[in-house]
Structure 1
Amino acid sequence: MPQISCAPDAALWLISTPHTSYAVRIDSGGAPCHVAWGGRLTLDEAAEIAARQPPVDREISSFEGRPPVGDELPVDGGARYGVPSLQVRFADGTRAVEWEPAGHDIREIPGGASELDLNFHDRHYPLDIGLHYRVYDDSDVIERWTTLRNTGTDDIVLLRADSAAWTLPPRADYRLSHVTGQWAAETQLGRETLPFGETVLTSRRGIPSHHANPWVMLDGGDASEDHGQVWSAALAWSGSWRITAQRTASDGRAGFTGGAGHDSTTLRLGPGRTHTTPRFAGLHTEGGFGAASRAWHAYIRAHVLPHPGEIRPVLYNSWEATGFDFDEKRQLALAARAAELGAELYVMDDGWFGARRADRAGLGDWTPSPDRFPEGLTPLADEVHRLGMLFGLWVEPEMVNADSDLYRAHPDWVLHFPHRTRTELRNQLVLNFARDDVADWAYGWLTALVADNGIDFLKWDMNRSFSEVGPAGPEGDDRLWSRYVHNLYRVTDRLRADHPRLRIEACSGGGGRVDLGILSRTDQAWPSDNTDAADRIAIQHGYSQLYPASTMAAWVTDVPNELTARTVPLAFRFHVATAGVLAVGGDLARWSQEELAEAAGFVDAYKQVRHLVQHGVQHRLRAPVDDGPTVVQYTSPDRAEVLVLAWQRAPRRGRPELPVHLAGLEPGAVYRDVATGVSHHATVLTGHGLPLELPPGDWASTAIHLRRVSD
């Protein structure tokens, strides 16, 4: 079990996970302060570290103030000049917070978890503050969140309410790792020295966005894929967010604070109301960035995903085959070919409803087009099921076209400002899910659609960012930003409760909405609209820094690729897609019998190893950093099987093809190549490497499946 212990005389608490410890204390002024976060400590050892920290009432320079990093939840007030995690404005205009301890609670949670609550009041004003921590017996991840309760009779304005702040120990240098990008080029991994001062990562778009993702990793500048300490944290929130990393020259420390909302959103906390922030989970690991990723993957599978033990089916999606130009007959023909290919889930994409003939009309009118499906969707769903596949649909519940019956009936349902132009992006407007009537409308047609048509799977898309987020609600604040996300969660939670067999893929024009919050309510995510296999290598590399392969949909589509016009071999496309949840999105009606037979072989090969990809332990053996091969390894939890995937764009003349050193094997074991029958000693594979023997020429790739030889 995880351990949470307390030294009351020292006002010190120690939270211990299987491999790490986290310590917090209350200083002489009553404020919660960070003590340590790293390797395992005893309570006495944590007390020694706490004793080294100067008292809050020590004399400080008039130009320095309280250190900007080190408070457990930095607030306005006193000589604090760092980034506040909590900013409030009371009814009389006062903005500072002064802490008064109000006790703590430690409890065991069924299922192997423990929680710590540290409770506080403001010294004068009617505000209760709770700092909350949860740990699990099988993970080093620490979940943190904050609750704020108005115990008075006047409103309190929350100018900023972060979930948590994290403090790192002094280091000579610090490096920040995160992902950036854009539509069709998401999750591009970047690592750069953390500058002194403040570095802000954020999304103001109403979604986590394609341009960043709500997680950070920090190290001392010396970590590699396999060595070094890494501190990281990820936010479970599917709307706008902000994470601010800080580095101070005064004491060599770094830290970061993060939460929902961006720099101009406020909430009004009415009398008796409680605000609970989303969870901001943190992790310390030894063993470099690879160890950090593997720990996050294990945590997400064990404590985030709703059905982590399932094997995700091979999916076929009709979009790139048909676009908007299709009818029931064409869908039936594609379904027959998809079944022959070995697909287990058939998904009909955009264009099946209302007057949808292009992206200019029909969104919001979620009934089957009578000219395309004269008897509704039931005949197609029944035939897909008869072919032995599950049946899925593309939906975009949060959007509406101005050219739709829904908008003509309810123009007030979209995000808008009075007397201001309603901005259309991709010819669509955003429905105001913060309104309960809009959310209830969406839930109503979704649950009926699933029930009436035997729907097994929904690809839930969301194809634009917010604009004109207003008018303000009755509270006179910016509550719409958060209420929208909570109602989105409420709709998906109700829908899944109604239909326990329903599975959902999160999509937002690609990877615009991937985070721990949405993954707790969906089964997989669409990382990018870019299906070019060459581009996907970098996208998947960045995605894997935090999220497991079992959540990553990966498509094989036609060439030349419709986005990049690049042509790569079918084997290369399949080997890249094998690194996630395999799907096919090409126009099967145009594939030759030879191509179909080759593809069916790759689908069958994937089914032999997908348990390793989706449930195994991932090692990134070689990153996509140059013209050499990119190599990824997946190993079963019992180390009995190994899959090695390698891709190389173009070999460089004169460059030797070096063997790749495997990781995480059973010491002393022997592994046999399933395809060739050649045996390898584990010691040789790890110490001397495995020859990849890539095929000659450009766009070479391989998949090597090894099984441990029984004694």
Structure 2
Amino acid sequence: MSATASSPPPPGSVQFDEASSTVMLRTAASCYVLRVDRTEGAVRHVHWGAPVPAADAAELPVWTGHDDSFEGRRDGVEEYPVDGGARFGVPALEVRFADGSSPVEPRVEDIRINGGNHLVIALRDRSRPLAWELHYRVPSGGDVLERWTELTHTAGPDAEPLHLTRCSSAHWPLPQRPGWRLSSVHGGWSAENRLERTALTVGETTLTSRRGHTGHHANPWVVLDAGHADEEQGETWATALATSGSWRLTVQRTAARRAGVVASEGHEGVEIPLAPGQRYVTPISVAVYGTGGFGDVSRAFHAYVRRHVLPHPDELRPVLYNSWEATSFEVGEDNQRALARRAASLGVELFVVDDGWFGARDDDRAGLGDWIPHRRRFARGLRPLSDEVHRLGMSFGIWVEPEMVNADSDLFRAHPDWVLHLPDRTATELRHQLVLDFSRPEVTEWAYGWLHALVGDNGVDFLKWDFNRSFTEAGGHGGRPARQVHVEHARGVHRLLDRLRAAFPALRIEGCAGGGGRIDLGILGRTDQVWTSDNTDAVDRLTIQHGFSQVYPAGVMSAWVTDSPNPLTGRSVPLAFRFHSAMAGVLGIGGDLTRWTGPEIEEAARLVQRYKDIRPLVQHGRLDRLLAPGEGLLAAVQYTDAEARRTAVLVWRSSTSFGPAHPPLRLRGLDPAARYRDEDTGAEWSGATLAGYGLPVPALPDGDCASALVVLHRTGRPESEGSRSMSPW
């Protein structure tokens, strides 16, 4: 290795020691070491954790299991385990060859490093026409590793296809520890992102979506620790998968105290036919190691999303208004104009027309697929409304659901074969709609045509792209197996979004799937924000947003202020609490503004301006979760700019209870030698005091659902030892 024997390679690099066939990948605070055995055709894992000197890495032993006829000596250690030989762990690669056989026998072909930060290990089967490359990359400026796999059918053009039945992005082996704890999120529609930490049992634990989309019920990421980490300290290992279709993360813990994560497209596997000469590229899997607890890992993911995933990471997302809860399917030009005027008076920057503007869309039983303006409600088309919204100083957005169709639509009557269903089975309708097969090029070509016309002809600046049901009867008319459709549909969506954004570089898009049903690193690479949940209850949102923040940054988390009582839960919540809850992400307003009182409109306008003031901190700053919702009387989050010049703290109390006063909030990420002033009260403390003693809890209004926002700025006057003296006792 090129680094000296006493030091690790520089961050953001890949180093190869040819004598020992050892590779080290370095991030800012971690290293990942593997060893290539050309004789056995194996790529074995050595170390993933704190940095070690390069000379030591080359000498570290590779762990092996018991040498007996019942153990797989490579299990838990191979970087990319295949189905074949004495391997009994979870495989990353399974193949069905043309003769029906499946065992794979790897051989190492080549090792190369591209650009100093991209490792490629080329392998192939020793006798069958299959080659695959393991790709490792260290993105610049962070603590993240990327991995993916590329597979190729190497036979001549006259050969039979082979089928990939499992082709994982990566296997991430972890070190030996006495025990392991698994962190993940679970839930359902309107109850997404419920964070759960449980002991990892020996065996295989699988998180998955069988729905054809990322899903409300789980999300494709996991965090593992040895059971001792908390928000601020402790070793943690995390991985996520950038896929938007069905997926599977299998976390394996062996009796030998090893653990590992296999990250894959498809819920039970895939069914990808590979023709001679054809190449298949898996989604990227992303992983982080940190020593600063769960908060450290979250901030590494947040920085990665901003630097390497989002199309426009430097932009501030606008304050939006969405008309759905005000007008539902009664949307029309006149009521939208009235709402737009009210929204503009609040300081809203983006006005979004929701469902009901098209076709024969008088309710959710008809019209999906017929993307022309409703003849009665928008007799003049959409352009007059778009022009009026622009005249009021706002951008114009509109809701679409391109992947769905109602049976009562002109599209379905013309193309019943475009939907996911089997010819001899009853097509299952959910929400009175069927799923269009976006794995088929003719379907995505149709969608691109009307989307291009909609955006181009009507001055559309923003699309809310929705997806309101899961897959059933996948396959059939398209001639593709269901497992293939479960992954290829999402790839068709990705390609369509890429094409649309290339045609309209100024277009911005919000991803939505009945709320948080399609949130992942894959969709974030093609959208600017995501709708977090259809549940807009400000108290429930604190829990949803807490789980969301474990991997995804606040700058992509769309959150609305809606009416009280809440239309879903019936809970009554003060306007300030509703705003403070939504101000923790990308602020939106979704209530019926025509029913808000004059004082409510005035208060809302003040709070919109307050949000715009702290928006750079929330959307681009460092996030610290100070107090988790549900674990005590208060919940609190802190946002701080990169230079620690300014910080904002949001505090919520969902319910009152008798007891002692809450201890001060110990802030994080501030300059200990500087002083910070409360912009509202003028109170001033040193950064050291705010971290060590804490920020006194601000006075909260009486009663349930009380909240506060505290903003501190650095005064530029460092703490002086001689500025104030204290008499000795």
TM-score, normalised to structure 1's length? 0.97
Give the aligned partner of residue 44 of structure 1.
55
Contact 2:153/2:279 (CA < 8 Å) preserved in 1? yes
Paired letter, 2:56: E
Could you tell which deviates more after superposition, 470-479 or 384-393?
A: 470-479
**Contact 1:472–1:479 under 8 Å retained in 2:** no
Is 1:105–1:117's contact at 8 Å kept on the other side of the alignment? yes
Following superposition, the deviation at residue 25 of structure 1 comes to 1.0
Whole-Å separation in 1 of the counterparts to 2:326 and 2:481: 48
Query: In the TM superposition, what is the alpha-carbon distance from 1:628 to its structure 2 partner?
Result: 1.1
* Other-structure match for 2:82: 75
Structure 1, residues 237-260: CA drift from partner, whole Å, max 9, x if none?
Answer: 0000000001011x2111110111
Q: What letter corresponds to residue 136 of structure 1 in structure 2? A: P
- 1:430 corresponding residue in structure 2: 435
> What is the CA-CA distance between 1:12 and the residue it aligns to?
1.4
1:119 aligns with 2:122: yes
| 2:492 is aligned with 1:487 | yes
What residue number does 1:136 align with? 139
8 Å Cα contact 2:266/2:483 also seen in 1: no
1:218 aligns with 2:224: yes
Structure 1: gaps of 5 or more residues: none
2:15 pairs, out of 5, 9, 30, with 5
Query: In structure 2, how many angstroms separate the alpha carbons of the residues matched to 1:618 and 1:663?
Result: 9
- Give the structure 1 partner of residue 659 of structure 2: 654
Shift, 1:68, TM fit: 2.8
Give the deviation of 1:52 after TM superposition.
4.9
Q: Distance in 2 between matches of 1:633 and 1:326?
A: 38
Superposition TM-score, scaled by structure 2 size: 0.95
SS of 2:117's equivalent? strand
Residue number in structure 2 paired with 1:315:
320
> 2:639 is matched with which residue?
634
- Where does residue 99 of structure 1 map in the other structure? 106
How far apart are 1:680 and its partner, in Å? 1.4
Task: Give secondary structure in 1 for the equivalent of 2:633.
Answer: coil
Post-superposition CA distance 1:279-300 (Å, at most 9, x none): 0111111100000001100010
Please tell me whether the aligned partners of residues 627 and 649 of structure 1 are also in contact (alpha carbons under 8 angstroms).
Answer: no
Counterpart of 2:75, as a letter, is P
2:707 is the counterpart of 1:696 = no
One of 194, 197, 204 as aligned partner of 1:191: 197
Pick from 453, 460, 470 the counterpart of residue 455 of structure 1: 460
Conservation of the 8 A alpha-carbon contact between 2:167 and 2:270: no
Secondary structure, counterpart of 1:217 in structure 2? strand
- CA deviation map 1:659-696 (0-9, x unaligned): 10000001211111111111111111111011122222
1:207 Cα offset (Å): 0.2
Matched, 1:166 2:172: yes
Q: Partner amino acid for 2:174?
A: L
Deviations 1:99-155 (A, max 9, x none): 1111111111xxxx7211000111111111100011123011111000111111222
> Which of 330, 336, 340 does residue 335 from structure 1 map onto?
340
User: Any idea what the Cα deviations from partners look like across 1:567-598, whole Å, max 9, x if unmatched?
Assistant: 01001100000100000000000011111001
Please give the per-residue CA displacement for 1:346-398, whole angstroms capped at 9, x wherever unaligned. 00000000100100000001011121111111110001000000000000000
Tell me the SS of whatever aligns to 1:182.
coil
Query: Cα deviation per residue 1:496-544 (whole Å; 9 max; x = unaligned)?
Result: 0111110000000000000000000000000100000010000000000
Q: 2:254 aligns with which of 248, 273, 298?
A: 248
Show the 5 A alignment for 1:315-394.
315-394=320-399
Alignment partner, residue 178 of structure 1: 184
Instruction: Give the Cα–Cα distance (whole angstroms) in 1 for the partners of residues 98 and 478 of structure 2.
Output: 19
Shift of 1:59: 7.0
**Conservation of the 8 A alpha-carbon contact between 2:220 and 2:520:** yes
Looking at structure 2, the residues matched to 410 and 678 of structure 1 have their Cα atoms a distance apart, in angstroms, of 67
User: What is the deviation of 1:29?
Assistant: 1.2
Q: Please give the residue correspondences for 1:297-308 in structure 2 after superposition, counting only pairs within 5 Å.
A: 297-308=302-313
> 1:613 deviation in Å?
0.1
Question: Aligned partner of 1:232: which letter?
Answer: A
Judged with a 3 Å threshold, the aligned counterparts in structure 2 of structure 1 residues 476 and 647 are, in CA distance, closer, same or farther, namely closer
User: How far 1:655 moved relative to its partner?
Assistant: 2.9
1:64 alignment partner, one of 71, 93, 102:
71
1:477 and 1:375 map into 2 onto residues whose CA distance is: 43
1:413-444 CA-partner distances (Å, limit 9, x unpaired): 10011110000000000011111111000011
* Residue equivalent to 1:26: 36
Residues 443-492 of structure 1, C-alpha deviations (whole Å, 9 max, x = no match): 11001100100000000000000110012755767432232122111111
Query: Between Structure 1 and Structure 2, how many residues are aligned?
Result: 702
The answer (yes or no) to whether the contact 1:267–1:477 under 8 Å persists in 2 is: no
Q: Deviation per CA, 1:269-319: give whole Å up to 9, x if none.
A: 111111110001111111000000011000100000000000000000000
User: Which shows bigger deviation, 122-131 or 88-97?
Assistant: 88-97
1:208 to 214, 219, 225: 214
The yes-or-no answer on 1:589 pairing with 2:594 is yes
Match of 1:16 in 2: 26
Change (3 A) 1:232 1:90: same
Q: Tell me the alpha carbon deviations over residues 9-53 of structure 1, each in whole angstroms, 9 at most, x when there is no partner.
A: 21211111111111111234121111111111232211222x353
- The answer to whether the aligner puts 1:147 opposite 2:155 as a matched pair is no
> What amino acid is the match of 2:80?
L
Q: In structure 2, the residue corresponding to 1:594 is in which secondary structure? A: helix
How far is the alpha carbon of 1:64 from its aligned partner? 2.2
- In 1, are the aligned partners of 2:528 and 2:556 still within 8 Å (CA)? yes
SS of residue paired to 1:360: coil
Q: Distance in 2 between matches of 1:647 and 1:630?
A: 5
CA contact (8 A) 2:418 2:478 kept: no
Change (3 A) 1:59 1:526: closer
Residue identity matched to 2:319: V
Please give the alpha-carbon distance, in whole angstroms, between the structure 2 residues aligned to 1:459 and 1:227.
39
> Which amino acid in structure 2 is aligned with residue 23 of structure 1?
V
2:725 aligned partner: none
Root mean square deviation of aligned Cα: 1.3
Q: Counterpart of 2:403?
A: 398
SS in 1 for 2:205: strand
Q: Percent identity?
A: 54
Does residue 709 (structure 1) correspond to residue 715 (structure 2)? The answer is yes
Paired with 2:36 and 2:98, the residues of 1 have a C-alpha distance of 28
CA distance 1:33–1:52, shift in 2 (3 Å)? closer
- The structure-2 alpha-carbon separation of the partners of 1:706 and 1:501, relative to structure 1 and needing over 3 Å to count, comes to same
- Mapping for residues 489-568 of structure 1, pairs under 5 Å: 489-568=494-573
Query: Any idea what SS the aligned residue of 1:104 has?
Result: strand
Distance (Å, rounded) in 2 between the aligned partners of 1:609 and 1:413: 47
Question: Which letter does structure 1 place at the counterpart of 2:178?
Answer: A
Residues 554 and 583, structure 1, Cα contact 8 Å, conserved in 2: yes
Secondary structure (helix, strand or coil) at the match of 1:445 reads helix
Per-residue deviation, residues 620-679 of structure 1 (Å, max 9, x unmatched)? 011113341001000001100000001011132023221100000012111111111111
Structure 2: segments with no counterpart, 5+ residues = 1-10, 718-729
The alpha carbon displacement at 1:63 in A equals 2.2
- CA–CA separation in structure 1 for the residues paired with 2:526 and 2:268: 27
Query: Which of residues 282, 288, 293 in structure 2 aligns to 1:288?
Result: 293
The answer (yes or no) to whether the contact 2:421–2:477 under 8 Å persists in 1 is no
1:627–1:652 CA contact under 8 A, matched in 2: no
